[in-house]
Amino acid sequence: PLNPTPADRFTFGLWTVGNVGRDPFGEPTRQPISAPYIVRKLAELGASGINLHDNDLVPLGATAAERDTIVSDLQAALAETGLKVPMATTNLFGDPAFKDGAFTSADRRVRAYALQKTMRSMDLGAELGAQTYVFWGGREGTEVDAGGKLMDALAWFRESLNFLADYSEAQGYGYRFALEPKPNEPRADIFLPTVGSALGFIPTLDKPDLFGVNPEFAHETMAGLSFPHALAQALDAGKLFHVDLNDQKMGRFDQDLRFGAENIKSAFFTVMLLEEGGYTGPLHFDAHALRTEDEAGVWAFARGCMRTYLILKDKVAQFRADAEITAALEAYRVEDTELAALSRFSPENAEALKNREFDREALGRRGPGLEALDQMLIELLMGVR
């Protein structure tokens, strides 16, 4: 049961297992690997699909004929393995043209070029069957705010997203769009830095129903926030359109660690929310092997992400089936039907509640049992329960 199958809905970005181990201080430590090769290897490991940026597949500056050959080679590998491409996105961060933003550049020509590049990439994604389109605004931000574009940037971002939603409808692509927040890296301050920020921005768009979020474990953690809390809010809003699973030490550079490698309890609650919160989309790993690794390390990394997810899924089932844990959870919650009725607003209920006597001191004395509950979880995760 710990060996993944396509029914588990695991996907990897081409840029994840394809990562060559470059960092700001050092050159690549691995050779590039081709998209068809990645597809075949991931199929062997039990993944269900791949995701891509336009330029993970088609290099910048490729001719139309080169593009068509590259795309048909990928399609052959997809047909042979049954892998799908559920999500596509645009590289709007690598080219120096985007060094001061794409949709939020102060240069109208850059903003128009970003629209053109995204439309072409949406065409590619649609050709490969993608249904979700992700926007990670990697260069949408600033180092200095002296340019005075803080308000304008949001308006420009909105204008572009509205345009692209209309394009998707006009082409009949039927995409759902997912905004991927990140607080910093590569910019000092990226616009819409957290899941909460993106959820606040979406209702200001022309077609808010087409837009949701693609939360990433590492990104919320970099912001010093809890990923499970962000995930819960996205689920509550009906806006979890996609997810980027990985891991991250808080307060460090963007690490993109193997899922579950660092924060095992948060990974457990991540899996619990994804399994129980009604999410049915792809379980996408946006992470990469450590720079120290060779190709064998890359596949060990990919297998590890999926196995850890499946192990934690088992642990969630064990948590739910554990009688002592269930009893502790029930004891933690206190219900009172009379007070529940009074908590529905009417002028009479409001008046009755205002006059109600509460034993404040008894409320303050109650111990909720969270220490014991959390220790049971720890022991369950450590395999001694």
Q: Which does 89 bind (CB under 5 to 8 A by kind): ligand 3MF, Mg ion, none?
A: ligand 3MF
Q: Which is nearer to Mg ion, 84 or 219 (CB)?
A: 219
Residue 46 or 138: the one with the smaller Cβ distance to ligand 3MF is: 138
Stretch that binds Mg ion, among 67-75, 109-117, 281-289, 358-366 (CB under 5 A): 281-289
Residue 286 touches Mg ion, criterion: CB under 5 A: yes
Q: How many CB atoms lie within 10 A of CB 5?
A: 13
Catalytic residue among 56, 100, 242, 284: 56
| Cα dihedral: 59, 63, 64, 69 (round 10) | -60
Q: Is 256 annotated as a binding residue?
A: yes
Tokens representing 34 are 């081709």
**Residue 244 contacts Mg ion per CB under 5 A:** yes
Active-site entry in 8, 23, 53, 242? 53
- 134's contact among ligand 3MF, Mg ion, none, with CB below 5 to 8 A by partner kind, is ligand 3MF
Applying the rule CB under 5 A, the residues between 251 and 270 that interact with Mg ion are: 254, 256
Contact call for residue 247 and Mg ion (CB under 5 A): no
Number of chain positions touching Mg ion (CB under 5 A)? 5
216 binds Mg ion (CB under 5 A): yes
From CA 258, how far away is CA 19, in angstroms rounded?
13
Please indicate if the annotation marks 242 as binding a ligand: no
Mark whether 209 is an active-site residue.
no
Query: How many degrees, rounded to 5, is the angle at CA 231 between CA 229 and CA 233?
Result: 70
Binding site for ligand 3MF (CB under 6 A): 15, 89, 134, 136, 180, 182, 216, 244, 254, 286
Instruction: Choose between 100 and 244: whose C-beta lies nearer to Mg ion.
Output: 244
Determine how β-strand 189-190 pairs with β-strand 141-142.
Answer: antiparallel
List strands edge to edge, sheet with 132-136.
211-213, 176-180, 132-136, 84-89, 49-53, 10-13, 283-285, 244-245
73 assigned to a ligand binding site: no
Among Mg ion, ligand 3MF, none, partner that 262 touches (CB below 5 to 8 angstroms by kind): none
* CA 99 remoteness from chain centre: 24
Residue 53: active-site member: yes
Is residue 219 annotated as involved in ligand binding? yes
Report the nearest approach of Mg ion to the CB of residue 331 (Å).
Answer: 39
Name which of 244 and 247 has its Cβ closer to Mg ion: 244
213 or 328: whose CB is closer to ligand 3MF?
213
Q: Which of ligand 3MF, Mg ion, none lies near 105, with the C-beta cut-off 5 to 8 A by kind?
A: none
Q: Which is nearer to ligand 3MF, 218 or 267 (CB)?
A: 218
How far apart are CB 134 and ligand 3MF at their closest, in Å? 4
Q: Residue 336 annotated as binding?
A: no
Residue whose Cβ sits closest to ligand 3MF = 136
Least gap, CB of 182 to ligand 3MF (angstroms): 6
* 15 binds, options Mg ion, ligand 3MF, none, Cβ within 5 to 8 A by partner type: ligand 3MF
Q: Residues annotated as binding site?
A: 180, 216, 219, 244, 254, 256, 286
Q: Residues annotated as binding site for Mg(2+)?
A: 180, 216, 219, 244, 254, 256, 286
Q: Active-site positions?
A: 53, 56
Residues that bind Mg ion in the complex, under the rule CB under 5 A: 216, 244, 254, 256, 286
